[in-house]
Amino acid sequence: MNRFEKSFSALKQNNKKAFIPYIMAGDGGLENLVERLTALEKFGATAIEVGVPFSDPVADGPTIQAAGLRALENGTTLRGIVKEIEKARRVVSIPIILMTYLNPIYSYGIPEFVRDIQIAGVDGCIIPDLPMEEEEIITPALESAEVELIRLVTLTTPLERIKTISSKGRGFLYTVTVKGITGVRNEYDSELSQFLTSVKEVSAIPVMAGFGISNKEQIEDITKYCDGVIVGSKIVDLFEQGRLSEMEDLMSVVKQESKVL
């Protein structure tokens, strides 16, 4: 089993849900990345999504866009991030996911990128602007390196396509909970619970819900219908504001036994 399978298997055995925090590498200084990854694992993260700053982040909302700009102003590069993740892997045991767009990967060079993230101990990649029909440009290299491509589905993705997408990996299925970009939300589409239930029924791998999740009530509600949550903008805000105790408290929700499997 890879790290994803081990982590999700342990959660299932203990009747618990997953919590995957997102952070922007280089926000607050790239030299702080190892410390932040270590803190998130200590707080109880199932895995960690590490964002790569990019000048045209089409899937990111205002909070993550601002974090990306701060990171770019700090001189953060994809190569620098990979080197820091390699350092972190000496002390961090949970899965690490790199979230980046295609342009930085092309600039790096696909073979070199895959080689270096494998050496660094990256477990998976999220590439929001890579459609399923074009993923062959990188999936053979990722599969050879045993790095999972984490694929996304949305509220408008047909269930048959979701079934096909979920059959392709051994990580998890990233289910986008809103029609739009990332960012804190107070309300969700009334059809979300049914959508997540339907996705869970057809998915061959764990279903994670992400985009806009920011408080305990949302986490408790959404995890009734899926395997866990991904929280980004709220985590980015809490790191920037130095409110780490609130972060740990937020993540404590999934440490309890699940009310619904």
Percentage, residues of the chain above pLDDT 70 = 93
60 carries an active-site annotation: yes
Q: Name beta bridge partners: 50.
A: 23, 98
Q: What mean pLDDT, rounded, does the chain reach?
A: 92
CATH of segment(s) 3-151+213-250? 3.20.20.70
Q: Averaged over 96-122, what is the pLDDT? A: 97
Among the ranges given (16-20, 51-55, 58-62), the one the predictor scored with the smallest mean pLDDT = 58-62
Q: What whole-number distance in Å separates Cα of residue 167 and Cα of residue 161?
A: 10
pLDDT band at 55 (very low <50, low <70, confident <90, very high): confident
| DSSP string across 19-78 | EEEEEETTTT-GGGHHHHHHHHHHHT-S-EEEE---S--TT--HHHHHHHHHHHHTT--H
Contact 183, 216 (CB under 8 A): no
User: Which pair of structure tokens corresponds to residue 90?
Assistant: 């000496």
49 is catalytic: yes
Condensed to tens digits (0 to 9), the pLDDT of residues 169-180 reads: 889 999 998 765
pLDDT bracket for residue 255 (50, 70, 90): confident
**Residue for token pair 């932040």:** 36
Question: Could you give the C-alpha distances from 124 to 180, 211, 213, in angstroms and in order?
Answer: 23, 19, 22
CA max distance for the chain? 46
For position 59, what pLDDT does the model report?
65
Distinct helix (H) and strand (E) counts, the chain? 12, 9
SS3 of residue 221 by DSSP: helix
pLDDT of residue 260: 47
Going by C-alpha positions, the residue among 130, 61, 121, 69 that lies closest to residue 97 is: 121
| Per annotation, catalytic residue among 27, 41, 49, 116 | 49
Give bridge partners of residue 51 from the DSSP assignment: 24, 99
Segments making up each domain of the chain, as ranges = 3-151+213-250
Q: Which of 27, 41, 60, 227 is catalytic?
A: 60
DSSP string, 132-188: GGGGGGTHHHHHHHT-EEE-EE-TTS-HHHHHHHHTT-SS-EEEE-SSS--S--S--
What pLDDT sits at residue 261? 41
Residues 248, 235: Cα–Cα separation, whole Å? 10
